[in-house]
Amino acid sequence: MNAQSAVRETVERLALIDHHVHGALRGSISQQEWANAFIEADTQPFPPHLDPLDTQLGFAVRAWCSPILDLPRHADPAAYWQRRTHLGEEEVNRRFLNAAGVQRWLIDTGFATDTILDPQQMADISGQPADEIVRLEVLAEELHTAGVLPADYPDAFRALMTDRTRDAVGTKTILAYRCGFDVDLSRPSDAAVSSAYRQWRQEDPRLIDPTLIAFGMHEATRAGLPLQIHVGFGDRDLDLRTADPLLLTDFLRDPHVQQTSVLLLHCYPYERAAGYLAQAFPNVYLDVGLAVNYLGARSAAVIARCLELAPFSKILYSSDAYGPAELHYLGARLWRTGLAEALSQFVASDEWSVDDAVRIAHLIGSGNARRAYPALNREEQFA
Amino acid sequence: MNAQSAVRETVERLALIDHHVHGALRGSISQQEWANAFIEADTQPFPPHLDPLDTQLGFAVRAWCSPILDLPRHADPAAYWQRRTHLGEEEVNRRFLNAAGVQRWLIDTGFATDTILDPQQMADISGQPADEIVRLEVLAEELHTAGVLPADYPDAFRALMTDRTRDAVGTKTILAYRCGFDVDLSRPSDAAVSSAYRQWRQEDPRLIDPTLIAFGMHEATRAGLPLQIHVGFGDRDLDLRTADPLLLTDFLRDPHVQQTSVLLLHCYPYERAAGYLAQAFPNVYLDVGLAVNYLGARSAAVIARCLELAPFSKILYSSDAYGPAELHYLGARLWRTGLAEALSQFVASDEWSVDDAVRIAHLIGSGNARRAYPALNREEQFA
Amino acid sequence: MNAQSAVRETVERLALIDHHVHGALRGSISQQEWANAFIEADTQPFPPHLDPLDTQLGFAVRAWCSPILDLPRHADPAAYWQRRTHLGEEEVNRRFLNAAGVQRWLIDTGFATDTILDPQQMADISGQPADEIVRLEVLAEELHTAGVLPADYPDAFRALMTDRTRDAVGTKTILAYRCGFDVDLSRPSDAAVSSAYRQWRQEDPRLIDPTLIAFGMHEATRAGLPLQIHVGFGDRDLDLRTADPLLLTDFLRDPHVQQTSVLLLHCYPYERAAGYLAQAFPNVYLDVGLAVNYLGARSAAVIARCLELAPFSKILYSSDAYGPAELHYLGARLWRTGLAEALSQFVASDEWSVDDAVRIAHLIGSGNARRAYPALNREEQFA
């Protein structure tokens, strides 16, 4: 076995930690709902002449997922759907979650959880432990719904966060969707928080106030909890221009923020800027999850770009899969292909040694996540 | 014939729709004028020590255009110019326009038209139909010159647009050159338009007022006319920073705007952001015209990047050629080379099937343009 | 010898002008200081679990620098350090500076010069002439320290600049580190300069005032001195978002600025925008120094991207090495590898002729620098 084959073999066999993922489908959905799950950025019904499978993601599903369902590569969508329906969601989930080669799932439980599996169910089906990531905005919105008084809000948030994260491994903020990064993210006083909450009480329970969101982010990092931040590409509720990670620079300069892991998720098309931050700040990590699935046959290019400025100890794997279990598998499948391509090129040109390539593959596949999330080294939760 | 050859063969034979192009030269120009036509971004005389042919575009002209004039590849500029002069502009036009393999030209008639061919002439020389794209700013400036009264301006604009677009297939705005995208592009009231026009009447007839430009854009989309928008790279009159398509996000969120095709032109270096918008908004299309010519031997990279987030039904071909007919041919030549390279790699790694690659090549080459411009399916105008 | 080999051979043999570089180490440093020199963007002690050699730069040092010290490629860090210590800094400097294949060094003497070699010493050790680049902010800070009166400041700055640049070949500004580019960079009046200086006199001697920095930039260009500008990537003192070269567009539009060379340094991740400016403005040049070293095995990608819009007469070589002489060598080594890869691909696809590739390699390696810095054609300073 030559050097490049050794690298490819290693990457194929990595037992990955998927550090940012959602549940797979709880039950069957319609063919249209299934297809629309592959257009992240489109919240409307897709016009009839635009086929959501005529995308890199759609082609990747047909190329890589078909064989898992005993179909030939590139199966046509009708045949694929027929076979998928025949097998049923439970068998489909079982096949894809196992084929992913994931040793542990870190599951964001903060979004539309009624149609998807919870961490315990994910662990049961995949046979691998599943841990929870708590969305900070959901905690705030619970307090809003409960009618907490303004004077009580800061302490109530802290108490709820402490309670909900007791068995979790980290937190997440989706400020990119709520107010963008081009706001004041310095730590607000409790008085400022109470005042902002007083205003919010008179409004819609969907939290968009930057003061209250920044409050959650600072409380999480001061409690030593890893903080995931949605960065870059997402659906069109988001203003991609204000989801640029460089707008987080001042937040990352806060010495208290630097005491825990900050994990920049997705990052496309800002992955090179995110790599800069991962080098500039010892506590900052990045992944290119979500983008990998959506780029399909082009995903190797973005994976290679995340191997630029970021130290190799700062790069993580995630799928950001949500819903159809194709996404849980495909994220891992494309990541392995792209990472193996990059690393084997480095080895082929003798710029990296094989030993280094193998070592770094293990760091990126799981070692870095174990360091970034200290709670992963506690007893496992849902296994 | 193997799979990759089948893909390459298909791409070579595509009868393209060049959905954004200008006329070829009407008559002969000097050698310096000819060379300067290859430096889009430079409006001054080029300093003597800087040869405009020492660029990717210049090298691409010498590599690909020389054989069309019966010269060896990489002919030196002096020999090229001598041969070009010997053949004469009419023969040069005939050769390049035919060699482009374009089935239909969508011609922007709004810029410096006295030295270039009009759509009828383009159709006559190339033997293929040519349609018109109307520049909205030109219509406004005509009304300014005509001395229309402020109270009459909104209706006068609508009437003129209706008249001028009767036989056209779409409209175009160059707000990137006039005020950039970092302005309020929401729909102004007629009263606000009249007021802005009143102010403009006292100024230079070159339209730079954002209110009046936004008015034109909204009138065009409300009339169901496809709207081309110059995005990204262009000459240095433009501030490239405010030609970022993400600054159009709010405009694209307007439900009325979503009722017609919006076509993001050029996009370099924002092609990945443009691809995001093409996925986020069902009515948004993109091309990487102009950039393809200017990048020459590097153009395959930008073509590959536009095959990332954008659904395959949203990608179009254009040359954005203006003046020397080398550009009309070279845009198509480089596009075929780059597209074939990307698609054949997808097929070689078995991530795409050959059938899909062939189908998508036809969509990008002409099928998507036929859907984006409904008037193309009317009787052809200048054939 | 085939065409691609001819191109590679040419690039290997180029006698480079390193147009932006600092001194190599004057004496020995600790192992930790040495390793930390490879994390540009981190000003703190590196956490123990994060190895600064587990980066593209660290791997490139082990791959390419080891043989220069008679070690096998990919030597482990302990063995490398032992050998390096055994040889001593003087021998290490001698080997790397000579192996770089640089014919001339243009040395920025404005930063932490007590631990590094001065231009005369660099010339002595390398056997090649070394010229000086003067940092404008250092001049201003000298006047502040000297207690110059506000009314005298404008003339005092001009006199000091004239004096210090008499034997220098150009100037440099690090406004990216001091106030960013998103400030007013128009030329201030002497009265405005005096007033800004009056305010600064009451503050820290580190210059961050945009008016005074802009004053220095305009004085340099009006004196016909080449002006280097740090752009993009650097350590985290800098806000990468405001180091975007497109923010310099208005400054570059000033007709007086256009009378001398402006050299955009580093540029990552904005190298495509910098290429646009190099095409738009006849006096603007760019390099991708610093980034090349930090990207290691990925540096060929950024080198290829700087061969897009920029005319070939506008691209320069630099290492931006500072301290360990590995960086002076590695910059050249990686640049040769990346440039040869790009050019030989252009030749392999017959998009460039071999003769053109050879000619452009020489322009980029040294010819463009000779034109950009007129003083290089004076008698050499430190040879």
Measured CA to CA in angstroms, residue C120 lies from B27, C114, C129 at distances of 60, 14, 8
Q: What pLDDT, on a 0 to 100 scale, did the predictor assign at position A50?
A: 79
Position C158 in a domain: yes
Alpha-carbon gap: A66 to the closest alpha carbon of chain B (Å): 12
At residue A382, does pLDDT exceed 80?
no
CATH number of the structural domain spanning residue B312: 3.20.20.140
Q: What pLDDT, on a 0 to 100 scale, did the predictor assign at position C319?
A: 98
At residue C381, does pLDDT exceed 60?
no
Position B168 in a domain: yes
| DSSP character string of A187-224 | PPPHHHHHHHHHHHHTS-SS---HHHHHHHHHHHHHTT
Written as tens digits, the pLDDT of chain B (383 aa) is: 688 899 999 999 999 999 999 999 999 999 988 988 887 655 556 676 678 899 999 999 999 999 999 999 999 999 999 999 999 999 999 999 999 999 999 999 988 778 999 999 999 999 999 999 999 999 999 999 999 999 999 999 999 999 999 999 999 999 999 999 999 999 999 999 999 999 999 999 999 999 999 999 999 999 999 999 999 998 888 999 999 999 999 999 999 999 999 999 999 999 999 999 999 999 999 999 999 999 999 999 999 999 999 999 999 999 999 999 999 999 999 999 999 999 999 999 999 999 999 999 999 999 999 999 999 987 555 54
How confident is the model over C107-125, as pLDDT tens digits? 999 887 789 999 999 999 9
Confirm or reject contact between C235 and chain A (CB < 8 A): yes
Query: Chain B residue closest to A47 (CA)?
Result: B282
Does the distance separating the beta carbons of B74 and C353 come in below 8 Å?
yes
Query: Chain B residue closest to C311 (CA)?
Result: B55
Position A45 in a domain: no
Q: What pLDDT, on a 0 to 100 scale, did the predictor assign at position A3?
A: 86
Confirm or reject contact between B352 and chain A (CB < 8 A): yes
Position B76 in a domain: no
| DSSP character string of A100-118 | TTEEEEEEE--S-GGGB--
Position B129 in a domain: yes
Strands (E), chain B: 16-21, 102-108, 130-135, 170-173, 227-231, 262-266, 284-286
Alpha-carbon gap: B368 to the closest alpha carbon of chain C (Å): 28
Please answer whether residues A244 and A273 qualify as being in contact, where contact means their C-beta atoms are separated by less than 8 angstroms.
yes
- Of B335, B254, B337, B312, residue with least CA distance to B20: B335
Q: What pLDDT, on a 0 to 100 scale, did the predictor assign at position A20?
A: 98
How confident is the model over C86-112, as pLDDT tens digits? 999 999 999 999 999 999 999 999 887
Indicate the average pLDDT of chain C: 95
> Angle at Cα C290 formed by Cα C176 and Cα C162, nearest 5°?
55
Q: What pLDDT, on a 0 to 100 scale, did the predictor assign at position B202?
A: 95
HEC letters along C227-238: EEEEECCCCCCC
Please answer whether residues B311 and B371 qualify as being in contact, where contact means their C-beta atoms are separated by less than 8 angstroms.
no
Does the distance separating the beta carbons of A52 and B311 come in below 8 Å?
yes
How confident is the model over A311-346, as pLDDT tens digits? 999 999 999 999 999 999 999 999 999 999 999 999
State how beta strands A130-135 and C16-21 pair. unpaired
Sole residue written with tokens 């752009």: C231
- Classify residue A62 by its DSSP letter: I
Q: Report the number of distinct structural domains present in chain B.
A: 1
Alpha-carbon gap: A342 to the closest alpha carbon of chain C (Å): 9
- Which residues in chain A touch residue B244, judged by CB atoms under 8 angstroms apart? 241
Going edge to edge, which strands form the sheet with B170-173? B16-21, B102-108, B130-135, B170-173, B227-231, B262-266, B284-286
Of A39, A44, A297, the CB nearest to B352: A297
Fill in the amino acid letter for B306. C
Confirm or reject contact between C356 and chain B (CB < 8 A): yes
Alpha-carbon gap: C335 to the closest alpha carbon of chain B (Å): 18
Using 50, 70 and 90 to split pLDDT, how confident is the model at C299? very high
At residue C42, does pLDDT exceed 60?
no
Q: Is the dihedral of CA A192, A198, A203, A204 positive or negative?
A: positive
Could you list the residue range(s) of the whole structural domain that residue B167 is in?
3-29+92-377
- Of B123, B67, B72, residue with least CA distance to B97: B123
Confirm or reject contact between B56 and chain C (CB < 8 A): yes
| DSSP character string of A269-289 | T-HHHHHHHHHH-TTEEE--T
Please answer whether residues B287 and B262 qualify as being in contact, where contact means their C-beta atoms are separated by less than 8 angstroms.
no
Alpha-carbon gap: C36 to the closest alpha carbon of chain A (Å): 12
Position C152 in a domain: yes
At residue A24, does pLDDT exceed 90?
yes
Q: Residues of A numbered 306-325 whose beta carbons fall under 8 angstroms of chain C's beta carbons: which are they?
A: 307-309, 311-314
Alpha-carbon gap: C63 to the closest alpha carbon of chain A (Å): 6
Please answer whether residues C57 and C144 qualify as being in contact, where contact means their C-beta atoms are separated by less than 8 angstroms.
no
- Classify residue C116 by its DSSP letter: B
* Alpha carbon distance A368, A361 (integer Å): 10
Neighbouring C-beta atoms of residue B5, cutoff 10 Å = 12
Does the distance separating the beta carbons of B47 and C282 come in below 8 Å?
yes
Cis peptide before C269 (omega within 30 of 0): yes
Confirm or reject contact between A360 and chain C (CB < 8 A): yes
Touching subunits for chain B (3+ Cβ pairs under 8 A): A, C
Position C213 in a domain: yes
Of C273, C353, C363, the CB nearest to B240: C273
Q: Residues of A numbered 257-286 whose beta carbons fall under 8 angstroms of chain B's beta carbons: which are they?
A: 268-269
Residue B104, helix vs strand vs coil: strand
* Alpha carbon distance B264, B268 (integer Å): 11
Position C60 in a domain: no
C285 has which bridge partners? C263
Query: Chain A residue closest to B305 (CA)?
Result: A298
- Which residues in chain B touch residue C345, judged by CB atoms under 8 angstroms apart? 297
- Which residues in chain C touch residue A257, judged by CB atoms under 8 angstroms apart? none
Residue B323, helix vs strand vs coil: strand
* Alpha carbon distance A119, C86 (integer Å): 56
Confirm or reject contact between C181 and chain A (CB < 8 A): no
Q: What pLDDT, on a 0 to 100 scale, did the predictor assign at position B45?
A: 65
Alpha-carbon gap: C327 to the closest alpha carbon of chain A (Å): 16
* Alpha carbon distance A283, A102 (integer Å): 24
Confirm or reject contact between C301 and chain B (CB < 8 A): no
